[in-house]
Amino acid sequence: MASREKQVLYTFLVLLSLFSMAHAIRSPPLALFRNCKFDKIFQFGDSLSDTGNLVRERPFDVSGRLPYGQSFFNRPTGRYSNGLIMIDYIASAAGLPLLNPYEQVGANFRHGINFAVAGATALPVKTLASKDIHAVPTPTSSSLDVQLRRMSDYLSSYCNTQTDCRDKLKNSLFMMGEVGGNDYNYALFGGKTIQEVKNLVPEVVQSIVDATREIIKLGARNIVIPGNLPIGCVPSYLTTFQANNTFDQNHCLKDYNEFSVYHNKQLIKAIELLKKENPGVTIVYGNLYNAFQWLFSRAAYLGFDRNSLQKACCGSGGEYNFSFKKICGLPGVAVCSNPNQRISWDGIHLTQQANKYMAAWLISNMSPMLQCPAS
């Protein structure tokens, strides 16, 4: 694993040097992020961040089968990608090893823990069920509140006192998601209208805020709260909802992207309030929406196939190579010849290459706000 981690870091250095040469991304680059000297990262969230928790809950999950993981690990690891995901690049940029999943028996948590579980929601499963919102197949029960309890349980053995916790966590980075996307996915794919799902946004945002307040009480001092991606650009959405919908300049579903913006605006307002409540805590909004729009607008320049920007690499059928009936990982589902030229891996999640560029944009954007020293 050590050699793999060195390879990740080397790849990331090359990537950021290319960005610098092409003036395609704002500085500061990797060095500034490393100057923050984070010694641990704690990740919460869903499949965008899961490094192997769900596959331990469900050993037969598709993320535990090839072609998942094929491009970097040569085996499936429970990551929903052909290789590395954003948190892998973020950890490597901080000079830390890849994060082990919380549910991995005997794992080393010296440099942090990944609590994220694919399929997880911001609201408890029972709360969503009371609103007639259900996942198919049966969702994980490891919602954000469960992940938070696991963090608290870990700290009860890691720290002796609250003061001890604050001291031990002062150089830790807490990634609060992305989370909340599945609450909306389950509602929208379950037949609810965008307007109906908008009514869910305040509760989802409040759940994220409440969880953040809890980790601050536990001792967190450096926190990133990511927003949602532009869901109207995702192949699963394009396949399901393209009829009777308008498209934007990128051929993404306009109404669904506007919904993501609506969620993100509410989240940003809540973050500003959190900042005022906690002047001694660094709280940063992780702008996944802008990161993706940046990637998409420069995709051809960055080496992606301009004719397949919204096509899944691993999938089957239709204009966007996606079908819920034959998803990636099932027998007979084909994989594109060059995943590095695709943004979407399986119609829902990003390829390793897209994750790499997204992480680079985020790190460059977040580093100054995380108050990483210049030297």
Per annotation, catalytic residue among 47, 49, 71, 367: 47
| Sole residue written with tokens 């960005």 | 19
Specify whether 263 is catalytic: no
Is the preceding peptide bond at 137 cis, omega within 30 degrees of 0?
Answer: yes
Specify whether 349 is catalytic: yes
At residue 3, the pLDDT reads 58
Specify whether 111 is catalytic: no
- Average pLDDT estimate for 36-45: 96
The model's confidence at residue 341, banded by pLDDT at 50, 70 and 90, is: very high
Q: Which residues contact 244 (CB under 8 A, 6 or more apart)?
A: none
Q: Which residue, 157, 371, 176, 187, is CA-closest to 281?
A: 371
Hey, CA dihedral for 241, 256, 54, 111, is it positive or negative?
positive
Task: Indicate if the pLDDT at residue 22 is higher than 50.
Answer: no
Identify residue 364 by its one-letter amino acid code: S
Euclidean distance between CA atoms 281 and 63, whole angstroms:
36
At residue 28, the pLDDT reads 44
At residue 119, the pLDDT reads 96
| Sole residue written with tokens 């009860």 | 156
Mean predicted lDDT score pLDDT of the chain:
91
The arrangement of strands across the sheet holding 112-114 comes to 112-114, 40-44, 172-176, 222-226, 282-286
At residue 147, the pLDDT reads 98
Euclidean distance between CA atoms 49 and 87, whole angstroms:
6
SS (H, E, C) the chain: CHHHHHHHHHHHHHHHHHHHHCCCCCCCCHHHHHCCCCCEEEEECCCCCCCCCHHHHCCCCHHHCCCCCCCCCCCCCCCCCCCCCHHHHHHHHCCCCCCCECCCCCCCCCCEEECCCCCCCCCCHHHHHHCCCCCCCCCCCCCHHHHHHHHHHHHHHHCCCHHHHHHHHCCEEEEECCCCHHHHHHHHHCCCCHHHHHCCHHHHHHHHHHHHHHHHHHCCCEEEEECCCCHHHCHHHHHHHCCCCCECCCCCEHHHHHHHHHHHHHHHHHHHHHHHHCCCCEEEEECHHHHHHHHHHCCCCCCCCCCCCCCCCEECCCCCCCCCCCCCCCCCCEECCCHHHCCECCCCCECHHHHHHHHHHHHHHHHHHCCCCCC
At residue 140, the pLDDT reads 87
Euclidean distance between CA atoms 198 and 227, whole angstroms:
15
**Could you tell me what percent of the chain has a pLDDT over 90?**
83
The model's confidence at residue 23, banded by pLDDT at 50, 70 and 90, is: very low
Domains and CATH numbers, the chain: 2-10+28-369 (3.40.50.1110)
Distances (CA, A) of 99 to 3, 11, 91, 102, 280: 15, 18, 7, 9, 27
Condensed to tens digits (0 to 9), the pLDDT of residues 196-210 reads 999 999 999 999 999
At residue 15, the pLDDT reads 54
Name which of 32-36, 123-127, 152-156 the model is least confident about: 32-36
Distances (CA, A) of 205 to 128, 180, 183, 268, 271: 14, 8, 11, 9, 10
Condensed to tens digits (0 to 9), the pLDDT of residues 99-116 reads 999 999 999 999 999 999
Task: Indicate if the pLDDT at residue 44 is higher than 70.
Answer: yes
Condensed to tens digits (0 to 9), the pLDDT of residues 182-198 reads 999 999 999 999 999 99
Per annotation, catalytic residue among 142, 172, 349, 367: 349
Euclidean distance between CA atoms 19 and 30, whole angstroms:
11
Task: Indicate if the pLDDT at residue 118 is higher than 50.
Answer: yes
Euclidean distance between CA atoms 98 and 355, whole angstroms:
15
Per annotation, catalytic residue among 263, 346, 364, 367: 346
Q: Using CB atoms within 10 Å of the CB of residue 305, give its burial: 0 to 12 exposed, 13 to 18 middle, 19+ buried.
A: middle
Q: Let me know: does 28 contact 368? Beta carbons within 8 Å.
A: yes
The model's confidence at residue 245, banded by pLDDT at 50, 70 and 90, is: confident
